[in-house]
Structures are given as C-alpha cells and as structure tokens.
C-alpha cells in the first residue's frame, strides 16, 4: 500500500528508472569487489586433476621487498631464527590477496615477532588458503635473488682472493657506461 502511494506521489517511471540504475550500479560494484581479491592469482587444473599456478601478478612494493630482504640478510650470520624473505612476502601476499597496495609494515612486524617467539611458519599460515601458491610463485620469481656469492677482493699485498658473502645477488643487465633510455620507437629521435 505504501509503495503504491509512493509511486503515485512521485512519477512511477522516474522511480523505476532510478531503481534500475541502482541495481545495475550495485551489480557492477559487486563484480569488481569480488574480482579484485582474486585477480592476482589464477589457478588451473591439468588433465590429471593436478592444480598449478597459471598466473600470478607480482606487484610486491619496494618497501616490502627491501624490508623482507634486509631481515633475511641480517639474520644470516646470527644465532636464532633465520628469516626467509620469500616466506615473509608469501605470508603478506596471502594476507592481502596479492594486492600489495594494502601493505603495512606493522603486518610484517607482527609476523616476524611471531617467528621470533618460536612459532613455525607452517603453524602461522595453516589457515591461509593461498599461502602455498604465493610461496611457489614468489619462489619462482625470487629464489636466486638473495644467497651466497663470491666477490673478488685484493689483499694488502695485492693478491686477488675470493671472499664468500651473503646478500643480494642480482644485478642490472645493463653494463656500466651503456646507459639505457626508454623511447617508444626504440631509441630513434
């Protein structure tokens, strides 16, 4: 009864049109909200039913990468818990659904404190649905970036020796003196 009165007071066509647009806007927003969480990872199945990662968006922010890497490197030569930067980033990836624009340093700090308190990564992440997928994906991307390497050093007598170090191993593939400029037409001016 009230609805009919409302429709007669206000032009019925206008009310129906407004309701129609509101339903469309609501439907579109629900689709975007639902897809935004899972857009960073796509899981597929082969013919044998085994699942594998088909696509992962790697959009980890520099601050998250840097802090996780620093924790890994600094923990290498100390006693106590040895951090694995890929496990830290995988935890955050699973927590944020791979959307690192949500990254907060405090989330990493909480995870690290739990590890320092003696909790195991497996126990902390056991209820995280996509942790193993992010661990696999981030391992594929980052596995050889940090680790042991040898660097050539010269001692006081001028002898060249190889010293083992632990840290960031990757480098820019562009040699010194060969600067790179990005042009849409491959460098033609």
Whether residue 92 is found in the same domain as residue 20: no
Higher pLDDT, 14 or 112: 112
How far apart CA 178 and CA 189 sit, in angstroms, is: 17
* Domain presence at residue 105: yes
Whether residue 34 is found in the same domain as residue 100: no
Whether residue 70 is found in the same domain as residue 134: yes
Whether residue 71 is found in the same domain as residue 128: yes
* Domain presence at residue 115: yes
* Domain presence at residue 44: no
pTM more than 0.85:
no
Whether residue 24 is found in the same domain as residue 63: no
Whether residue 63 is found in the same domain as residue 33: no
Contact residues for 100 (Cβ-Cβ < 8 A; gap 6+): 59, 60, 61, 64, 92, 93
Say if residue 31's pLDDT is above 60.
Answer: no
Confidence band for 36, pLDDT divided at 50, 70 and 90: very low
Owning domain of residue 126:
57-148
User: What's the pLDDT at 80?
Assistant: 77
Say if residue 68's pLDDT is above 50.
Answer: yes
């Amino acid at each position: 009864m009230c609805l009919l009165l409302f429709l007669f007071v206000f032009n019925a066509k206008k009310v129906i049109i407004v309701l129609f647009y509101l339903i469309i806007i609501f439907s579109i927003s629900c689709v975007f909200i639902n897809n935004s969480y899972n857009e960073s990872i796509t899981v597929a199945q082969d013919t044998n039913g085994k699942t594998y990662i088909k696509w992962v968006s790697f959009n980890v922010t520099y601050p998250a990468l840097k802090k996780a890497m620093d924790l890994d490197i600094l923990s290498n030569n100390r006693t106590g818990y040895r951090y694995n930067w890929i496990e830290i980033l995988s935890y955050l990836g699973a927590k944020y659904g791979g959307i690192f624009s949500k990254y907060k340093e405090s989330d990493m700090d909480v995870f690290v404190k739990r590890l320092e308190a003696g909790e195991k990564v497996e126990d902390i992440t056991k209820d995280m649905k996509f942790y193993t997928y992010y661990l696999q994906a981030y391992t594929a991307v980052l596995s050889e970036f940090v680790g042991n390497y040898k660097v050539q050093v010269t001692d006081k007598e001028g002898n060249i020796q190889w010293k083992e170090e632990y840290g960031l191993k990757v480098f820019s593939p562009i040699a010194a003196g060969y600067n790179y400029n990005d042009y849409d037409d491959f460098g033609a001016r």
